[in-house]
Structures are given as C-alpha cells and as structure tokens.
A and B are shown apart, each in its own frame.
Chain A
Amino acid sequence: MEQLHLLSGHLLEVAFFSYLIGVILFTWAAARRRQPVFRNLAWGITALGWLAQLGFFILRWVYSGHAPVSNLFEFMTFFGMMMVLVLLVVYWFYPYPLLAILALIIAILIIGCAAMFPQEVAPLVPSLQSHWLYIHVTTAALGEAVLSISFFTGFLYILHETDQTKQHKSVWAIEGLFLILLSVIGYMLLAFIFRLSGYTAAVITAQDSVMYQLPPLFVPHDTVTTVLPVHISVSEWMRGENAAQQLNTVTLSIIAGVFLYIIIIALARKRIGAVLQPIVQKLPKDTLDDIGYRAVAIGFPIFTLGALIFAMIWAQQAWDRFWGWDPKEVWALITWLFYAAFLHIRMLRGWQGIRSAWLLVIGFCIIMFNLLAVNLLIVGLHAYA
C-alpha cells in the first residue's frame, strides 16, 4: 500500500514536468506556425501528463479510501487537472498555442502552489464522509476550470487590443497582472530554493515558537528572539492564525516578483505587455471574444450546479442547513452573482469586446480569491479546503 502512495506522488511529478515540457513545445509551435508537428507533439505530451495526473488521482483515491479532494493540496491539484482537461478539449476546436501556453502556465502555478500545502493523506472527519463531497467538489472545480478559459481569452484579448504606444490605465493594469503572476512564480521559486537547502528559522514569541520556511522578515508582535538582525514586528491587531508568517510570505513573494519583473524589463527594454503584443497580434480577436463568452455560457451552469446546488444539498445533510453564510460559500455566491451579471451586461450595447474581456479578468480574480485568500485570510467551515 505504501508503494501505491509513493507511486502516486511520482505520477504527479511526471505530470508537472510534462506540463512544463508542454509549455516549451507550445512556445515552439507558436514560433513555427507552419509545422503542425510541434503542435500535435505539444498536445500529445500535455495529454500524457494529464493521464499521469489522472493516475495520481486514482492511486491516491485507492490508497486513502476517499476521493482526494478533501484538503487544499488535493483540491488545487484537481483544479489544475480540470484546467488542463478543459484546455485539451478547447484546443481541439481552437488550436491557438498562445491560449494553451497561458492555460498551462496557470495550471502549473496552481499545482505548484498546491505542493506548498500539507500533502499528508488525512482521514475524513464525519461531516466530510459523504458522496456529495466528491460530487460537489469535482463539479465545482470543472465549472471553475471552464470559467478560467474565459479569463485566458479575455487576457489575450486585452493584450491584443491595448494600445501600448500610449501610457494609460489599462497598460499599467496589464503590467499589474503580470506582476501578480510573477509574484506567484517568485513564491514558488523562493519556496523551492529554501526547501531544497533545508532552511528553517525558529522565531520564539511570548506564547510559543513559530517555524518559518522563509527568512523571517515579519515576525509576530510579541517576538522574543528571532534569527535576522533586521526584522519588522507586525502590529498587534494582526492576530489571525500565523498572520505574521503569511504577511512575511506574501511580502517576500512580491519582492521576488518585482525582482523578476525588473530583470525581464531590463532584458527586453520594454513593458511586458509591449513585448507580447506583436505575438498576440496574430490571434483573431473576434474569435477570442467569442470563446470567452462561450466559456462562460458553458461554465456558468456547471459552476451553479457544483458550487451551489450540490453544495447546498450536501450542507443540508451534513450541517442541517443548506446555507450558512460561511465565507467560502459566500464567495462562491459572489462568483455566481458576478458571472450572472456578466451574462446580462454583455447583452447591453457596447459591452462586448474589451470591456467584457476586463470583466472576465475580474471574474477569474474572484475565483482565485475564493480558492486561496478565503482559506488563508478568513477561516470558516471550509478551513480544510
């Protein structure tokens, strides 16, 4: 049985690296548009990676006895997997390598971030022991993955349409999005480097000691001893669980992101948006707009079913009420309200194209906020996932 667990872990690594190779091959395919062989190869490698991840999922299920969607690590890897699945299908109809690259990068980042959370196989507490757990989580993840596609096309549309010769709001908004993306990459790099070197730092506070995996720049307000000579005590009102540690991680990630951004700017001598615009320019913008709308039209019902209806049926059984205003479910409702608004607003005159693309970006930010921030900042029933 232990072997099964090990094997499933290795399969996830295989999937991760296949997706990385997929990104490289798709980039190649984008550069050499004439040779479909690269495109097919890229799709094939990604599909193989996806099969490996499916293997990871099934083996982990067999080993633990329950569907591996019960904590943040498991849910995020599953979400990444659904994203790749949807991409593979969408690519069949709309073979744009750029779309594939963007989707794979996001999927890789999500799976990479997932690996930073505890990966132990945890037993299910009584309220989670329900078939509705699998049904609710898998459908919700699929719905969110389809909705993510609309973000990818929306983002490409914005890159395509924004005039990079002038400096205005949307130019800087695009750079902001890249900065967030680079910060996530920065976080992964930092975590990887410090984990590889086996770095830990103990910060001793009045009550207990906190183990940091990154250099403790920010420490709790009641710190007694720490390792860095330079450090900042966070204000007393930040009392959330591990608030100082989380602030530390976020700040270091942003610093790393800014650092990466500066390197790229220095090398390219242009804004990232300006670098990418000529590449994106070849994409048909009306089709991008259309795919975005279509993704919402397909994803919205799936999301409604999975994240709201199935969730409510389960909640009624497990917690004797179908709705409890728990932060995670409130944010699912907000996501739902937002996409409902999107479907209506798009019908209004003048809201197609660039405006609708920006709405799609906001929608994805809400999904990501619900995925990560709600768990880390606001603790509720969904503390496990």
Chain B
Amino acid sequence: MDSLKKRRFLIRLFVLTVLACVLLTAGWKLLNEGKSQKLEAGEKAPDFVLENIQTGEKFKLSDLKGKGVLVNFWATYCEPCKQEMPVFEEAAPTYEKQNVILAAISADQSSLVINRFRDRYDLSFPLLQDNGNQVMEAYSVDALPATFFIRADGTISRTVYGPLQIEKLEKYLDEIVP
C-alpha cells in the first residue's frame, strides 16, 4: 500500500512539474517575444555587398576584415536619421586613420534622392543603397535608424536601435578600433 501511495505521489509530482514547466516556458517565450529576432552584441555581423552610390564601387563587409566598421541604416525621409548624418561625416576622416570605416545604408528607392541628400549635407563617407531591403532584412532592422558597431574580427560589439546619443558615439567607435 505504501509503495502504491509513493508511486501515486511521484506520478502527481511528475504531471504537475511538466505543467509548471510548460507554463513557465510559455511565459518566458512571451516576455521575450520579438527580442530573439534581433541581432545582439557578440554575434557575427551578416556579410553584405552593396554599391557605393558615390563611386559606384562594391562595398563588401567581408573585404574589410581587420578594420572596425560602423553600419548605419537610414533614409532621407527619416528625421532622426538626418540629424545623425553630419555627425558621422565629422567623425569619418578621424576614425578612418584608426582603421574604422563608417558606412550608411539607405533604404531609399531612387539613387537620385540619396545623391541630392549627399550634395545638400556635403557628405563624403560611403553611402550605400539597399534597394531590395535585403541587408536591412539580414540585420533584422524594422525601424530606422539603427546602428551596428562591428569589430575587426567581424563580430558585433554594440547595437543601437533608434537615434544615437551623439556624445556617446566616440566611445562606441573607440571600442571597435582594431
């Protein structure tokens, strides 16, 4: 009789534990919903190749092994993005000397729009056009702006979704100096 009781207790314990696990997993999954999709620090940055609209050259991330890269996603119709562009322009030449490349990937459809924007803001660092939104998809970016700081070894050091805090840009860039 005692062993029967014990077995019964163990069965109950087992069923209740399974139920509790299911409930906890579901809760954890729900809390983290959407987070899992995003790229995080430490992951390898997806490789991409895009055309530099200024020079017409191919810009391939994997060609820049050994250099730190800042990848910024933006568009001409995105207000906070516009404010970041002059800041990048200012930082680009100083950091290029330290082997850090800044590149801004535009979601705009026509190169004319980007070119005119570049003229107006007098930008010289690489502006890339991601017409089919493939790179944006590869980086799981669904809202602009978004900025990725990539180390020389191709891993992500930091991600910033939404506008950058401009005073922190230098600190972040210093982190990816090889």
A and B touching (C-beta < 8 Å)? no
Interface set of B (CB-CB < 8 Å, partner A): none
Interface set of A (CB-CB < 8 Å, partner B): none
